[in-house]
Structure 1
Amino acid sequence: MKTYSLIATVAAGIESLVANELKEHGYKTETENGRVRFEGNARDIAFTNLWLRTADRIKISYGEFTAKSFETLFDQTYALPWEDILPLDAEFPVSGKSVKSTLFSVPNCQRIVKKAISKRLMDYYHRRQHLPETGALYPIEVSILKDHVILSLDTTGSSLFKRGYRMDKGGAPLKENMAAALVKLTTWRPDRPLYDPTCGSGTILIEAALIGHNIAPGLNREFSAEQWTMLNPDVWPIVRQEAREAIDHDIELDIYGTDIDHRMIEIAKANAKKAGVGDSIHFKQMQLKDFTTEKEFGILISNPPYGDRLLDEEEAHEIYRQMGDIYRAMPTWSKYILTSDETFEQHYGARATKKRKLYNGALKVDYYQYWGIRKKRND
């Protein structure tokens, strides 16, 4: 199979998580802002779309060059072997972005790239008139940063965070890949208790259960590249079947989620069932202040409502105070709390062991980490 230069796009702040995922699967990586580069063939494209939990998309970097004029952009685009990947009937819309570049007009850049690819295909397929574009979708992007052009094809389609299990989101939902990132940024392992006191539609706990049972997050959805005839579509059912065989339902998970809103609990249960982990998570309607546990060395993850998300500031601060009062009495537990409120520590009543800046969509947030007492290991 032909090897391609691939890019896993990722939200700012969690590039290292995507790089680590790829390395765990045996890929060599190069990390840049907002993306992780690696190489792979058609099978690798299928595999990474199915298995990466924290990435946004998998793209083929089909050409990279410097361009300061539309003529150069056209010529360099035309010079690429588009016929090797685009069939005669390919539908290939061109999106674009340009930052700090001589060619700053994105619509013009898109038009030039579209024109160059069209001419290349028309010349190759001996077409005098327009191309039909009635076949499979091949989304192309022209991205220009400081005059460096990357022409890429999006193999994913809808972003990887769209796993397909969320029947209802509820208010202020957390993207599935960000929820997976929150889990991966903790010290949780499948043999430890995991609790979310503000579970909402259950996304964080569902992602943890998928990790615990080794379920590929993209197993139950479709991807753009599955329809690409030039990219060996036969690999997709093979990779899917291998992913099904890798699932381990014998692992017993201790995952518990509560929310004050009984409607969100019902939504969470339905989402977990759709994801195939309904029997692995215990959901219960409960006020945050009523939580008690005799379990030790667990992990708590919370994405509580904050001032610009569902509650006003006074209500949010009261929740933080309750958290501080309750969780200080759980010294062996490690707590991880996501919020955009920069005064969180003040109301919680303790400084975090560590604080990590992330982005929940366009919203800048902090992930406050309070590490519990470590469990002593037997010699």
Structure 2
Amino acid sequence: MTSKQSIQFLATVASGIESLVKKEVSQRGYDVQVDNGKVFFKGNLSTIPEMNLWLRFADRLKIVMGEFTTSSFEELFEACYALEWEKWLPVDANFPVSGKSIQSKLYSVPDCQAIVKKAIVKRLQDVYHRRGFLPESGALYPIEVAIRKDKVQLTIDTSGSSLFKRGYRIAKGDAPLKENMAAALVGFTNWHKDKPFADPFCGSGTIPIEAALMGLNIAPGLNRSFNSQDWLFLPKDLWDKEIEDAENSIDYDSELLIEASDIDHRMIEVAKANAEEAGVADHIHFKQCQIKDFTSKEKNGILVTNPPYGGRLLDEEKVHLIYQDMGQALKPLDTWSKYILTSDLSFETYYGQKATKRRKLYNGAIRTDLFQYWAKRKN
């Protein structure tokens, strides 16, 4: 594998967030194709460290090894064996195979995994002139066989742990929001670093921390490691260069107006600790405050929050009272745009105002709606 050779990449993403991933990949100079939960683009070896460091909204960055249609295990084996796995996998590669199959003739996932594993082993044995078992004692190269309507896609995961795991969350609350989902909530707004920003239900601080990372142009992957950092075919100097470039791009001189509050003083301490670990504690003002006392002297701000909802932290009656308090407290902030994520589809009734726009998203397996209230237009 040469440094300039073209590679097909796949960024996996939660449903409803594809547009944000498309935008961030495009802004880095790549041509993008989008499918449901998938963003495809071509790059080279340096793309692996670059995009693992910079993808804010995606779940994983994968290399697409091959795509083909098959209806038998024999065809699956032959097509898999024909791929040039040795370009990526050294003789001691540790390559577990996971799988999924939807509406396909090859519906047995364990059998599909076994066939793919067998084909790769045979390919590597032949290429490396090895007999017997391969050691699999080296770096990790997770492989997935995904079959949908008889179309097979084989990928290698470059990320390891999901990209939402930034590395700064040293403590969390009872129902934490994934970091990439929190970033997406900010990404759906028109907030930029010169505008006030607030989260009155900050919990462990994920939303304001993600906003601060954006405002300071901090790459979300700088505080963690990735599978592919141990890959033999990926030169270490590529990682070193991308990390150095990311560190040099940080704008610590920006003065951010980010406020984060919560009714629970213990969560404020948790949020502060996480912000400190993320390197943004000096750019977020934390305070204990219940929603009915929330206010701001700032104008033209952006409020993004994930309040409690029934079945998540509190019973529905208590939640609806919180929504009523929220509606009354936020009503005077008519120059602010507000973005509120909840699974309670009756939110508008208790909040007391119909949303300008609603966006369906999934917080893990939970269906949620992002209720968007846009600021009044200036005359």
Letter paired with 2:368: V
Distance in 1, Cα, partners of 2:271 & 2:203: 7
* Pairs within 5 Å for 1:84-95: 84-95=87-98
Partner of 1:108: 111
Matched, 1:64 2:67: yes
Moved more, 223-232 or 56-65: 223-232
Letter paired with 1:117: I
Letter paired with 1:49: N
Matched, 1:33 2:36: yes
Partner of 1:338: 341
Partner of 2:11: 8
Moved more, 239-248 or 294-303: 294-303
Distance in 2, Cα, partners of 1:5 & 1:163: 25
Contact 1:61 1:152 in 2 (8 A): yes
Shift of 1:234: 2.4
RMSD: 0.8
Distance in 2, Cα, partners of 1:232 & 1:59: 18
Matched, 1:222 2:218: no
Shift of 1:42: 1.2
1:360 to 358, 363, 367: 363
Moved more, 76-85 or 106-115: 76-85
Contact 1:55 1:177 in 2 (8 A): yes
Distance in 2, Cα, partners of 1:190 & 1:309: 31
Contact 1:180 1:204 in 2 (8 A): yes
- Structure 2 residue runs of 5 or longer lacking an equivalent are none
Partner of 1:316: 319
1:203 to 202, 206, 221: 206
Letter paired with 2:336: W
1:262 to 255, 261, 265: 265
Q: What SS is found at the alignment partner of 2:63? A: strand
Q: What SS is found at the alignment partner of 2:287? A: strand
Letter paired with 1:192: K
Q: What SS is found at the alignment partner of 1:74? A: helix
Distance in 1, Cα, partners of 2:224 & 2:370: 30
Matched, 1:187 2:157: no
1:271 to 271, 274, 286: 274
Shift of 1:375: 4.8
Contact 2:360 2:368 in 1 (8 A): yes
Partner of 1:176: 179
Shift of 1:308: 1.0
Letter paired with 2:248: E
Partner of 1:307: 310
Distance in 1, Cα, partners of 2:349 & 2:156: 47
Letter paired with 2:261: T
Partner of 2:154: 151
Distance in 1, Cα, partners of 2:299 & 2:110: 57
Distance in 2, Cα, partners of 1:220 & 1:331: 37
- Structure 2 CA distance for partners of 1:349 and 1:140, relative to 1, 3 Å: same
Distance in 2, Cα, partners of 1:37 & 1:368: 29
Aligned pair count reads 376
Partner of 1:248: 251
Percent sequence identity over matched residues?
62
Matched, 1:161 2:164: yes
Structure 1 length normalisation: TM-score?
A: 0.98
Contact 2:94 2:140 in 1 (8 A): yes
- The CA deviation string for residues 10-39 of structure 1, in whole angstroms up to 9 with x for no partner, is 001100100000011111100001110001
Distance in 2, Cα, partners of 1:213 & 1:84: 38
Matched, 1:373 2:376: yes
Contact 1:11 1:56 in 2 (8 A): yes
Matched, 1:124 2:127: yes
- Structure 1 residue runs of 5 or longer lacking an equivalent are none
Distance in 2, Cα, partners of 1:19 & 1:291: 35
- The CA deviation string for residues 225-282 of structure 1, in whole angstroms up to 9 with x for no partner, is 1111113332001100110000000110000011000000000000001000000000
